[in-house]
Structure formats: structure tokens, C-alpha cells
Amino acid sequence: MYDLTSPAASALRARSRGPRAAELDGIPWLRCLQPDERAYAIADLRVVDVDVGELVCRVGRPATYWFGVVDGLLKMSNDSADGLPMTFTGVPPGGWFGEGTVMKNETYRYNIQALRRSVVAGISVDTFHGLLKRSIGFNGFVMHQLNERLGQFIAAREIDRLTSPDERVARSLAALFHPVLYPGVGEVLRITQQELAYLVGLSRQRVNEALRAMHKAGVIRVEYGGVRVLDLERLRRFHA
């Protein structure tokens, strides 16, 4: 499942296992497949429990699997030209990522790291390309995914230009409730203020202030262990 030249990746591969029935239910693209295509994919699917801080993908490593989050929270990041960490996005449950890298047989240009203990699934590059060749439903899913991903990264560039911390937190939070890219989230996202701070690049205290402003405006409700969105469109347009 991982680049075998890396001892850490080899350890993750050794821990991987076949998927459980409940985990299969949380993989959105399986529903797009015909019965024989589904059986073909499931035969290759592997699942692994990833600890906090462990890397699933590393800059410069070859793409060997297409990955998705069954449970937990990952972050996609890299270092800027001056060596500072730069987070592109978070990846909550239901999110699959790296399809562009896999399709082009490239090395990763980003790191994918677990922000909390997570369950990650994957299919091999060979199975990914095999499904592209034989499954109309899978092709449709991947094309839709790429289109939505493009919009996501355009929005991420816009977020970087925002000077209002409240608006940055609001836009970043709204991105994690994307119904196509992250269908496993629903209306409630399990995330701590510290995890959100890592993704947004602000202090936990400043994120707390932003969440209180959105809560007061009736856009979200902060609940134990997570955030519930009450009005996604208003969250996307939130102004301090």
C-alpha cells in the first residue's frame, strides 16, 4: 500500500487488513460500480489504522495507492519556499484524494498526515486504472471528483488572501462540509478547535473567537466534540 523503501510505510502496510462491511458502506464510489466491478475493487481494498502524526503520503514518494478516509481527519500540506508549513486542506470522512497524481503516475507534491487517529482505505494504482478502463460509473465519479477538486483549490487560494480571521475560519470550515468531496461528514463534523487551528493556520484562541462569532450569528452550533452547520450557504458567505 505504501512505498516499501520507507520503514514507516512498511510498518503501515504490515498493519493493513481487509475492509469490514460497515467500512465498505462509507466508501462512496463503490455505489457507482456494477456487481462484478465492485467485487473486483473490494478484492484489492486495504484498510489501515493510522496514528496521530503518521504520514499516509509523503512529498517525492511514488503514488502506489488511491486513498480515502473511512474515519478520522487528515491534512494535506507542504512546505513553502521559505520553509514554512503550508496546509492546503483537511480531509474528513468520505474524502478520497490523490486521483490526479495516480492518473498521471506522478510522485506526491504534498504530505498527507493524520491529525487524529484515523482509518484510511486504499486501492492499488493497478486496480484504479483497471476500474477506469472497465467502469463507466467509476469514470463518472473520478471526473466529478476532479472538477470539484479544482473548485476547492481555487477557493483555497481565495481563503489565503482573506485578511479577516473570522472569514478565513468560516471558509475553511465550509470547505470541510463539501457534500461531493466529503459525503461522510453530513451536518456534524467531528473536529476540535486545535485541529481546526492547524488547518487554518491560526491560534486555537483565535479560532475559538471565530467560532463564537459564527455561533452567535446562527450559522453553526458548537457541540461536544464537533461543529454542526445550520446554514451552509451562509457559512460560505460569512462576513465578520
Q: What is the maximal distance between C-alpha atoms in the chain?
A: 51
Q: Is 50 exceeded by the pLDDT of residue 203? A: yes
Please report the sign of the dihedral spanned by the C-alpha atoms of residue 101, residue 107, residue 113, residue 117.
Answer: positive
Contact of 55 with 10, CB cutoff 8 Å: no
Does residue 144 sit in the same domain as residue 170?
Answer: no
Q: Report the C-alpha gap between 2 and 14 in whole angstroms.
A: 10
Does residue 140 sit in the same domain as residue 189?
Answer: no
Q: What is the mean pLDDT of residues 48-68?
A: 92
Q: What is the mean pLDDT of residues 54-63?
A: 91
**CA 238 → CA 115, 154, 175, 200, distances in Å?**
26, 18, 13, 16
Name the CA radius of gyration of the chain, rounded: 18
Q: What is the mean pLDDT of residues 58-74?
A: 93
Contact of 64 with 38, CB cutoff 8 Å: no
Q: Report the C-alpha gap between 49 and 89 in whole angstroms.
A: 21
The domain that holds 83 is classified in CATH as 2.60.120.10
Domain count, the chain: 2
Of all residues in the chain, the percent with pLDDT exceeding 90 is 65
111-144 pLDDT, tens digit per residue, is 999 999 999 999 999 999 999 999 999 999 999 9
Name the pLDDT band for 83 (thresholds 50, 70, 90): low
Query: Which residues neighbour 19 within 8 Å (Cβ) at sequence distance 6 or greater?
Result: 27, 42, 45, 46, 47, 70, 121
Name the pLDDT band for 92 (thresholds 50, 70, 90): very high
Contact of 121 with 45, CB cutoff 8 Å: yes
156-181 pLDDT, tens digit per residue, is 667 666 678 999 899 999 999 998 89
The pLDDT assigned to 121 comes to 96
Does residue 32 fall inside a structural domain?
yes
The pLDDT assigned to 9 comes to 55
Does residue 225 sit in the same domain as residue 173?
Answer: yes
Q: Point out the domain boundary residue: 153, 180, 202.
A: 153
Does residue 149 sit in the same domain as residue 169?
Answer: no
Mean pLDDT of the chain: 88
- Torsion angle defined by CA atoms of residues 121, 125, 128 and 129, in that order, rounded to the nearest 10 degrees: 180
The pLDDT assigned to 4 comes to 38
Does residue 102 sit in the same domain as residue 16?
Answer: yes
